């Protein structure tokens, strides 16, 4: 771990992007963690203006449901943006593919999302890339909107302008964004509606909001009730979604309409008290320090891995191990101790089942060989580096790039295989993970694991 500025140290990489990467930066004295976007301007000179715009927009914002902006630093060949480190992970990691999550939980996150978007619009800012992968969670499980790389100011001194840039992630993009200049607020509201579908049903309703898309054509023609995901949804939330996902933006629900809808107002946590503890959300004991602020990943080139001999040195990894910290400067992330050990363990086990990682019975080299063999059998293209990171490339059903990584992590003498999304649809990534995991059943460790208090550490030099 190298010193960045006086008293602050580089941690490991949180995310990689087409223009750079996001690193964890730790204060040596206090243990405070900050996420830092860094762009190499020698490699990407065109990114300087985008970074400047992102920082300008983010500097305007201060809301509990928006990732905090701490500052910017410019050097001759590097640009940095410092942001709040959200230790609770990404919202999409809480969504079970094709299932979603309990209604009370979806409602809680949706309310926080609407609160954040209402704040943005109140300050004349459009996000333009709202999706679960850009919604992070803090250590108290509160939603935080992140990634303002496509955000823009659409209203200034009371004057609103139409937007023309076609941007965002296609399944979440409003129909008007695809065809002509559009108003900012209805487009963001549309994305919120798609996110709500994903939360409740665990899938997206269509590839894009284009009448040429059969699923979307069925929606606008009101011939969808026998189709998924709509048949999974209860009548009341479906009624809200119908009014949010109206093709014509002028007729679409506004945020004020959403906030007065009966599903939004209903106290689902009280009505489903068996899903709650003390009237609130179950506190999850997390070991994952990976709350990634995504930049997106360019398509990599992959060499052939046929008959490759894997010589992996975990000691050389720029990563981390999991144990008690030896000193304060080793601290990456800690969770609050839970008094009831049995409750803590059960809660943790429930969480692990919903996350894209598992322990294996094999050592690192054998695990990599087995994983690569399994990936090849499923027609994935993969690349292995010398520290045990397997980068996997494919396309999803929309023929869009899907890139993810499998990282070997040593935890108290055991190997954890941690899958992380780099580029593409989060739900599709989780579907692929489930299929890969099923093929690896013979090497997955099924017994109980003795967990230390969940603290990720790296020894300081």
The residues annotated with a catalytic role in the active site are 129
- With 0-12 / 13-18 / 19 or more C-beta atoms within 10 angstroms meaning exposed / middle / buried, residue 235 is exposed
Tokens matching residue 88: 């609770």
Which one, of 130, 423, 394, lies nearest residue 294 by Cα?
Answer: 423
Q: How far, in Å, CA of 202 to CA of 197, rounded?
A: 7
The DSSP-derived string for 35-67 is EEEEEETTT-TTHHHHHHHHHHHHHT---TTBP
Question: In the 8-state DSSP scheme, what is residue 23?
Answer: E
Q: Could you give the C-alpha distances from 351 to 96, 181, 355, 356, 425, in angstroms and in order?
A: 11, 43, 7, 10, 21
Q: Cα–Cα distance between 70 and 446 in angstroms, integer?
A: 43
Cβ atoms of 452 and 348 within 8 Å: the answer is no
- Contact 24/320 with Cβ under 8 angstroms? no
Rounded CA separation 76/78 (Å): 6
Q: Which parts of 338-461 fold into alpha helices (H)?
A: 341-353, 364-377, 426-439
Residue 363 CB-density burial (10 A; 0-12 exposed, 13-18 middle, 19+ buried)? middle
């Amino acid at each position: 771990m190298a010193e960045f500025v006086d008293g602050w140290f580089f941690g490991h990489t949180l995310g990689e992007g087409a223009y750079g990467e996001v690193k964890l930066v730790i204060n040596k004295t206090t243990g405070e963690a900050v996420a830092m976007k860094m762009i190499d301007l020698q490699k990407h000179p065109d990114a300087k203006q985008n970074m400047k715009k992102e920082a300008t927009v983010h500097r305007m914002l201060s809301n509990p449901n928006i990732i905090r902006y701490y500052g910017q630093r410019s050097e001759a060949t590097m640009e940095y943006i410092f942001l709040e480190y959200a230790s609770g992970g990404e919202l999409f990691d809480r969504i079970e593919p094709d299932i979603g999550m309990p209604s009370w939980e979806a409602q809680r996150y949706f309310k926080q999302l609407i609160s954040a978007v209402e704040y943005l619009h109140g300050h004349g800012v459009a996000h333009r890339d709202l999706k679960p992968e850009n919604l992070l969670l803090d250590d108290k499980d509160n939603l935080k909107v992140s990634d303002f790389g496509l955000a823009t100011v659409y209203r200034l001194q009371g004057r609103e302008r139409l937007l023309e840039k076609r941007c965002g992630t296609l399944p979440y993009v409003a129909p008007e964004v695809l065809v002509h200049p559009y108003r900012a607020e209805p487009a963001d509201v549309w994305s919120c509606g798609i996110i709500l579908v994903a939360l409740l049903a665990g899938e997206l309703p269509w590839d894009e909001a284009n009448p040429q898309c059969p699923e979307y054509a069925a929606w606008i023609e009101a011939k969808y009730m026998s189709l998924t995901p709509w048949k999974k949804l209860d009548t009341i939330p479906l009624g809200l979604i119908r009014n949010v996902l109206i093709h014509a933006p002028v007729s679409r629900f506004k945020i004020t309409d959403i906030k007065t809808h009966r599903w939004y107002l209903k106290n689902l946590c009280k009505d489903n008290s068996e899903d709650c503890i003390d009237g609130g959300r179950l506190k999850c004991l997390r070991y994952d320090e990976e709350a990634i602020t995504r930049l997106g990943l360019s398509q990599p080139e992959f060499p052939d891995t046929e008959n490759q001999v894997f010589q992996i040195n975990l000691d050389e990894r720029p990563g981390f191990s999991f144990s008690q910290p030896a000193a304060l400067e080793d601290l990456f992330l800690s969770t609050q101790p839970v008094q009831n050990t049995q409750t803590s363990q059960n809660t943790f086990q429930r969480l692990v089942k919903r996350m894209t990682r598992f322990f294996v019975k094999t050592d690192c080299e054998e695990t990599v060989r087995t994983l690569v063999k399994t990936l090849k059998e499923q027609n994935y293209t993969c690349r292995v580096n010398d520290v045990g990171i397997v980068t996997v490339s494919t396309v999803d059903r929309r023929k869009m790039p899907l890139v993810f990584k499998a990282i070997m992590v040593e935890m108290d003498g055991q190997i954890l295989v941690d899958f992380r999304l780099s580029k593409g649809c989060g739900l599709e990534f989780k579907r692929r993970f489930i299929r890969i995991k099923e093929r690896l059943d013979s090497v997955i460790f099924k017994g109980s694991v003795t967990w230390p208090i969940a603290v990720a550490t790296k020894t300081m030099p």
